[in-house]
Amino acid sequence: MKTTHRLSGVLTATALLAVSGPAAAQLRIDVEPYAGVYVPLRNVLPTTDVLVAVSGETTVVQTTALANVDHHSSLALGGRATLWLSQMFGAQGTATYAFSDLGSLDAHVWLVSARAVAAVFDQGAISLQLSAGPSLVARGGRAYEGIDGTLDVGGVIGAGAGVDLGSVRLRILAEDYFYSTKLSDPRLSEQDSRLQSDLVLSGALVLAVGR
């Protein structure tokens, strides 16, 4: 987490310095609607837990196996907007919606981020980008009814490649959202914080608003 914040800070500071130079005249905005796949790498709950039930004055504690407590890989839709402060550096905002059920229950995941972006290679029709910044991950749907702790703050890193096809520009991007989550369900024992890692692999159409 600290490494990502340092990288984001370095990219942001460099981008702000770039604005003060002649390159500021080259400000432009890229808008990128995209579709891809959301791939959660870790379970949000352990595979076994303790179920606590109260009947009258009797408390029953039972170890229970939890089946299908992981999010499914799913379709992800979203968009990015990048303000290029120079040819190499920019600031980016992203929002992604993943149709990811939790086990057999309906659920979804929102992933939102603000990043610094660096174009590390841009020659001819090919370009490469790196990005990093803070992120916000929110879960919802029927699976999370009555559960607290569904909103988490973390970080994100990304790497992408763009291809200029003349009148159309495409970009492929891989992103890793990492954060710690601690869900609270009165039906289960108290949970420890669990480190999460969610991948988003996407393809986007790049629309340049200004140059």
Q: Which of 203, 4, 196, 1 is nearest to 109 (CA)?
A: 196
Stronger pLDDT, 157 or 28, i.e. the higher one:
157
Stronger pLDDT, 116 or 24, i.e. the higher one:
116
pLDDT tens for 120-158 read 998 889 999 999 999 999 999 998 888 888 999 999 999
- 48-52, 129-133, 194-198: the lowest-pLDDT one: 48-52
Q: How far is it, in rounded angstroms, from Cα 21 to Cα 38? A: 39
Instruction: List, in order of start, the domains of the chain with CATH numbers.
Output: 2-208 (2.40.160.20)
Does the pLDDT at position 81 exceed 80?
yes
pLDDT value at position 9?
A: 54
Q: How far is it, in rounded angstroms, from Cα 22 to Cα 86? A: 9
User: What phi and psi, each to the nearest 5 degrees, are found at residue 85?
Assistant: -85, -20
pLDDT value at position 14?
A: 47
Burial 135-172 (b: 16+ CB within 10 A, else e): bbbebebebbeebeebebebbbbbebebeeeeeebebe
Amino acid found at 204: A
Amino acid found at 180: S
pLDDT value at position 177?
A: 98
Amino acid found at 174: A
Residue 31 and residue 79 in contact, taking contact as beta carbons nearer than 8 Å: yes
- Encoded tokens for 177: 């959202």
Q: How far is it, in rounded angstroms, from Cα 110 to Cα 99? A: 9
The pLDDT of 69-94, averaged and rounded, is 94
Stronger pLDDT, 188 or 2, i.e. the higher one:
188
The pLDDT of 42-49, averaged and rounded, is 68
- 48-62, 73-87, 105-119: the lowest-pLDDT one: 48-62
